[in-house]
């Protein structure tokens, strides 16, 4: 197995654009894996996708996050979500990334616990997850006696989700949303965050919620300050 992996060709992106796998996709494989999402029904496409990830890792083993010494100490974050792309559960995936200046300090990609009835609801749930992360980060900085100016800038590409958070008026189109999701509205009113719209082309959290074309993937990783230190060392 080790010899076979040493011969594989590297890839510049880990997943195909618009590629998805399901529990019943392809021929069943029997392998001794215990903690995988599809372990109960492992199929050929799952192994093929895992091999793509290995080939991507081989392409740039020196990929590392860059933290500049003169980085401005101000927090901003991006929140995004896909919508019902899991063919089995129809649940959406939340994704976010948090920066201090240009330094990426926190990120997350996780399937939501419930099914969202619209893309706006899925985006709103993702905003709630990010808001909780920012609140925890504020507590952490306070414990370390580090002052960071608020509000933190939060970028979202869904206008209706931003409208839900900014408009406290009860509306029949939002009454089904879990109360816990409205933490974003509360922290917006308390001044912890401010919500700003960002175009989909500039949404950095896209990389945590969906497969991307190679050009888009590489553009976002560059903006995340992910660099190949081996190339930089070779270049002096």
Both tokens of 225, joined, read: 């300050």
pLDDT digits (tens, 9 = 90+) for 161-216: 999 999 877 566 666 676 778 899 999 999 999 999 999 999 999 999 998 888 99
What residue ranges do the domains of the chain occupy?
2-59, 65-223
Q: What are the C-alpha distances in Å from 6 to residues 1, 54, 108, 151, 193?
A: 9, 10, 30, 49, 47
pLDDT digits (tens, 9 = 90+) for 138-165: 999 999 999 999 999 999 999 999 999 9
Domain 65-223: assigned CATH number: 3.30.420.10
Cis peptide bond N-terminal to 142, omega within 30: no
Q: Is the pTM of this model over 0.85?
A: no
């Amino acid at each position: 197995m080790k010899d076979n992996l040493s011969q594989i060709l590297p890839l510049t992106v880990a997943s195909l654009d618009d590629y998805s796998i399901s529990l019943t996709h392809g021929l069943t494989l029997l392998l001794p894996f215990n903690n995988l999402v599809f372990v109960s029904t492992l199929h050929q496409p799952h192994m093929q996708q895992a091999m793509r990830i290995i080939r991507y890792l081989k392409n740039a083993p020196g990929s590392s996050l860059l933290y500049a010494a003169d980085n401005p100490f101000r927090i901003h974050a991006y929140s995004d979500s896909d919508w019902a792309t899991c063919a089995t559960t129809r649940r959406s995936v939340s994704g976010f990334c948090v920066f201090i200046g240009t330094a990426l300090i926190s990120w997350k990609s996780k399937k939501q616990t419930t099914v969202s009835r619209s893309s706006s609801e899925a985006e709103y749930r993702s905003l709630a997850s990010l808001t909780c992360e920012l609140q925890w980060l504020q507590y952490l900085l306070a414990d370390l006696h580090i002052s960071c100016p608020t509000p933190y800038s939060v970028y979202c590409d869904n206008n209706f989700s931003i409208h839900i958070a900014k408009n406290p008026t009860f509306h029949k189109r939002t009454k089904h949303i879990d109360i816990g999701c409205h933490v974003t509205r509360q922290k917006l009113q308390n001044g912890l965050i401010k919500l700003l719209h960002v175009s989909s082309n500039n949404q950095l959290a896209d990389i945590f919620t969906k497969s991307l074309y190679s050009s888009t993937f590489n553009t976002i990783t560059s903006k995340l300050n992910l660099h190949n230190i081996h190339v930089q060392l070779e270049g002096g």
